Amino acid sequence: MSGVVPPSEMRCFRHPGRKQTGTTVSARGGRGATVPSLVVHPNRGDLGIRSLWCGDGPSGPTTARSTTRRVTIAALATALTVASSLGLAGVGQAAEAVSFNNGSNVGDEKEQQAVAAAVQQHLLSIPGSAIAITKPSPDDPGKSIVTTYYVGQADKATGRLVGPDTQFQLDSQTKTFTAALLALRIAQGKAGLNDTAQSHIQANSGATVPTLPSPGGPPITLGELVTHRSGLADYPVNLGAGCDAEATYDVAKLGAGLGLPNSMVFEPGTDWLYSDWGYGLLGSVLTTPFGNADSTFAEAVAKELTGPLLMADTKLETEPNPNLTVLYDDGVPTCYRNNTAALAGAGGLVSTAEDMAKWAVATMGRGPGTLAPTLKKTLEYIAPGKPGTDMQMGMAWQLYPALPVELPYALKNGSGAGSQSVTELVPTTGWSVTVLANDGKATPVAVADQLRRQLSAGGAVPALPAGSSGNTGSSWNINPNPFGS
């Protein structure tokens, strides 16, 4: 982690060997370059295959199109007309075209225009970004198709462009993976939301999870850790500063920090406070060497989550590698967080846009295999969210209810000194968007919000599902207490 403390957070494969050219979409007119469509390979199980398949049916991959696409926005007037119809603000002020890098697998014209406008408004001032959108296939709604948009540079010094293999720091989006590990443990009968965190810590660790209002107060539960209701402070009181603060924060420091004064802000379960410390503790109690488990956090994620989903580019950030983007703070290079020790469960993973598309599809219960139904349970309501808001908590995911002009959606973002990211899911339509950026001053949530409102309902908001009032504060439309505990 850099010396700058990150701000608190409110919130499928390509075909090998197929050269793809960049696409330019301009708000001022002009012609765009061609983008060959991605070839769909029938063998989705081969890690070398780069297809668009993300569905749960047996028939193999699907694609949104099979012909070369040429994108042209003939004139500024045309662009402004399109922008107006999509509800875009400020597009006419954009001074330069948006160019999608090689490897981009773009969607239809409406989607391209919406993405270009959102990038112009919110992301052109940063070095690089990647956007992945998933949606049901019109030919087979049980499967999902993925479109991707790569913009700018992964490394300004070398000119390396953002592309399909570019890894970004996920920061707190890592928490959705930690929550998924808990969901798996519950499904396996190895844990429950009402289990105390203390009961999952190795007895010989010497660590004691604090309580409030007194040493004999209510213990912190796993359910409170996964919903930010544990009472633990946002960051460990003994974390320190510097680029390696998180890399050197081992289980001994974790245990020691829990015993220090001011480690807790309120009695467990009585309020909501976003806590990186709480998720670091959760990831540690679910894995070895702190918890009663057989695998480290990195091993558990690889074996139980990213391996089955063929997310080969999603892993702990151990050191810079050729695919990892350089991190920038307002355009100036900054250090890597190196969050690889006891707090890894709070923000230690890196990933690509394509991998995160797979994660989004599986989390909505649409992915292949047996993992998706368990991941979908992380979207179910467990507890209230931040007081004074309509946000509610699933497992890591922040749940927002249906409104008269908006479908219910789930959100998880990540924020660091040199990176910003977000994923938004709309389970009722099977639509999602992930935005990854390599600058701490980026605003990907604004991009995701804009695209979700324009694209997730296919141009119109359908009737509200049963159980949703359509008013602020209405209930998230999924069964409460998903695990019965």
The reported pTM is 0.81
Better pLDDT: 5 or 306: 306
74 vs 313, residue with greater confidence? 313
Residue percentage of the chain with pLDDT more than 70 = 74
pLDDT for 84: 43
pLDDT band (50, 70, 90) for residue 319: low
Least-confidence region, from 124-138, 207-221, 371-385, 471-485? 471-485
Residue 251 pLDDT > 50, yes or no?
yes
**What is residue 480's predicted lDDT score, i.e. its pLDDT?**
40
- Which pLDDT value is given to residue 212? 80
Q: Shortest CA distance to 442 belongs to which of 228, 158, 152, 235?
A: 152
Q: Please write the tens of the pLDDT for every residue from 256-312.
A: 999 999 999 999 999 999 999 999 999 999 999 999 999 999 999 999 999 999 999
Which of 176-185, 360-369, 450-459 is predicted least confidently?
A: 450-459
Confidence of residue 34 (pLDDT cuts 50, 70, 90): very low
Q: Would the CA dihedral through 353, 357, 358, 363 be positive or negative?
A: positive
Q: Which two tokens stand for residue 100?
A: 């999608």
- 43: pLDDT strictly greater than 50: no
Residue 429 lies in a domain: no
| % of residues, the chain, pLDDT over 90 | 66
pLDDT computed for residue 24 by the predictor: 55
Where is mean pLDDT largest: 97-101, 139-143, 150-154? 150-154
pLDDT at 156: 98
CATH of the domain at 370: 3.40.710.10
| Over residues 336-343, mean pLDDT | 92
Give the whole-angstrom CA distance, residue 212 versus residue 329.
38
The answer to whether residue 439 is domain-embedded is no
| HEC per residue, the chain | CCCCCCCCCCCCCCCCCCCCCCEEECCCEEEEEEECCCCCCCCCCCCCCCCCCCCCCCCCCCCCCCCCEEEEEEEHHHHHHHHHHHCCCCHHHCCCCEEECCCCECCCHHHHHHHHHHHHHHCCCCCEEEEEEEEECCCCCCCEEEEEEEEEEEECCCCEECCCCCEEECHHHHHHHHHHHHHHHHHCCCCCCCCECHHHECHHHCCCCCCCCCCCCCCCEHHHHHCCCCCECCCCCCCCCCCCCCCCCCHHHHHHHHCCCCCECCCCCCCCCCCHHHHHHHHHHCCCCCECCCCCHHHHHHHHHHCCCCCCCCEECCCCCCCECCEEECCEEECCCCCCCCCHHHHCEEECHHHHHHHHHHHCCCCCCCHHHHHHHHHCCCEECCCCCCCEECCCCEEECCECCECCEEEEEEEECCEEEEEEEECCCCEEEEEEECECCCCHHHHHHHHHHHHCCCCCCCCCCCCCCCCCCCCCCCCCCCCCC
Q: Higher-confidence residue: 61 or 239? A: 239
Mean pLDDT along residues 325-335? 96
Cα 385 from chain centre = 19
The answer to the question of residue 171 being in a domain is yes
- Count of structural domains, the chain: 1
Q: Name the residue with higher pLDDT: 131 or 20.
A: 131
Q: Is residue 125 part of a domain?
A: no
In a domain, 62, yes or no: no
User: Using CA atoms in the order 310, 313, 315, 321, what is the torsion angle rounded to 10 degrees?
Assistant: 160
| Range of the structural domain that residue 312 is part of | 165-400+410-420
Say whether pLDDT at 32 is over 60: no
| Residues 98-112, mean pLDDT to the nearest whole number | 97
Statement: residue 232 has pLDDT above 70: yes
pLDDT above 50: residue 200:
yes
- 394 within domain boundaries: yes
58-72, 200-214, 396-410: least confident range:
58-72
Q: Give the residue carrying structure tokens 């909505």.
A: 364
